[in-house]
Amino acid sequence: MASYCEVAEHGHKEPNEEQLLDEVLPDLLIHALQIANLKGVNLEEKYHQRLEFIKERSKEKE
């Protein structure tokens, strides 16, 4: 992910979107699942909490 962002933000060429979709995205999912398992975190529950937080924050900005 860092390599992709580095090229996207500071590179002199276009970042490889296929690399992002084919390599980075699946790796991020696997790492998130591994960390959640190690820490005993229910990702589905955390996801719903995050959505609720975003929803409430949006209401405050109105």
pLDDT at residue 37, rounded to an integer: 97
Please tell me the total count of domains within the chain. 1
How far apart, in whole angstroms, are the C-alpha atoms of residue 62 and residue 54?
Answer: 13
Looking at residue 15, its pLDDT comes to 85
Q: Which run of H or of E encompasses 24?
A: none
Q: State which H helix or E strand residue 35 sits in.
A: helix 25-39
pLDDT tens per residue, range 4-26: 888 888 988 888 899 889 999 99
Token readout for 30 is 């696997």
For residue 38, give its domain range: 2-61
